[in-house]
Every structure is written in C-alpha cells, then in structure tokens.
Amino acid sequence: MRGSFEQLIEKSRKKTLTPEDQRLLEELFAQDPTLKSQWDQERRLSQMLASLPQVPLSKDFNQKVLQQTFWAKDRRPARRRGFAGWMSALSEKHWAQAVAAVCVISFVTFGAYLQHNQVQKIRETADALSTVANTAVEVATVQESDLEAIQVLGEYEQSSSIDDDLWLALVSY
C-alpha cells in the first residue's frame, strides 16, 4: 500500500495522474487523514516556492555551495566512541565534570571506608585470638593442687567477703 501511495504521489507531482489514479489517491486519503494533511502541506509549500521570483544564480554558485559543505564537514568534530567519547562530552559540560568528580571521590571514599572496616575486623579477631591463646596458656599451667583448692572453694556453700577476696586472689593467680 505504501509503495503504491508513493507512486501515486510522484505521478501527482509530475501532474500525470489518470482519473483512475486520482480515485485511488482519494481512497487512500480517506483511509488515512494524516496522509491527506501531509500532502496538502507539501502542495502549499510547492506553490509558495513556485511563486518566488526567479533570481539568476552566480556562475560559481555550485562551487561555493560545495566549498561551504566540505568546510562545514571538515570543521565538525569527529564523533568519538567509548571512553574517549564520554570524556570529550564531559569536557564540554562543566557541571558534568563536577558530577563525575563527586562520583569518583564518593567511590574512592566508600572503598577506603570498607577497607578500613575490614582491617579493623581483622585486628579485632587477632586480638581476640591472642586473648584466647594467653588464657589457654594460663589454664594449661594451673597445677593439680590449684584445681583441688578451686574445687574445695566451689563446694564451700557459705562464703564471706573475705572468702570472696580469697577466691578472686586464687583465680587471678
């Protein structure tokens, strides 16, 4: 349908429409009003351009147009891809540079914070293991007589404040 419509429009531009073609074109316009409005706009533009006065062109008009075309093409910066493209886009927008800098600083700071926390946890674990190791060494050096004294004190039901002090002294020994 689109191909036949384009052919009918081209015939209408050249003013070679037959009555059958005119009827088909009107049917297509009836089916899709937007096509009709686009065609009307094109016809009005063509009429306006046809009503302009004929102005003679200079002899080097084509050469000037080609020079301007190639000059504009040469002046246009080549589009970069990937990281280089992002960096060139950022260099043109100062607010984007500030946002990028804030993001980089935030990521670096957050990474340093996580690293610090991990190191802190490792140190705390090492201190806890050192304490357990020292306690194990102290428990291993307790002699059998000390264990019997602790057991006797543990069985002693009524204790006084003096006995509590003695208990603390024995345990801390």
Domain membership of residue 128 (yes or no) is yes
Residue 29 has pLDDT above 70, yes or no: yes
Percentage of the chain modeled with pLDDT above 90: 1
Q: What percent of the chain has pLDDT over 70?
A: 69
Give tens-digit pLDDT for 38-61: 888 888 888 887 787 887 878 888
167 is a domain residue: yes
State the pLDDT confidence band at 163, using cuts at 50, 70 and 90.
low
Note the pLDDT of residue 86: 66
Establish if 78 belongs to a structural domain: no
Question: What number is the average pLDDT over the span 73-83?
Answer: 60
Instruction: Give me the pLDDT at residue 135, please.
Output: 79
- Look at residue 22 and tell me whether its pLDDT is greater than 80: yes
* 54 part of a folded domain: no
For residue 81, the tally of other CB atoms under 10 A from its CB is 8
Residues 109 and 148 in one domain: no
**pLDDT, tens digit, 9 for 90 and up, residues 82-119:** 667 666 666 667 777 777 788 889 988 998 898 888 98
Judge whether 59 lies within some domain.
Answer: no
Pick from 122, 119, 173: nearest CA to 143: 173
Q: Do 129 and 160 fall within a single domain? A: no
Residue 11 belongs to some domain of the structure: yes
Number of structural domains (the chain) is: 3
pLDDT for 27 beyond 70:
yes
Q: Is 165 within a domain?
A: yes
Report if residue 146 sits inside a domain. yes
Do 113 and 136 reside in the same domain of the chain?
yes
Which pLDDT belongs to residue 28? Answer: 84
pTM over 0.75: no
pLDDT at 130: 85
Domain of 116 in residue numbering reads as: 92-141
The span from the CA of 35 to the CA of 13, in Å, is 15
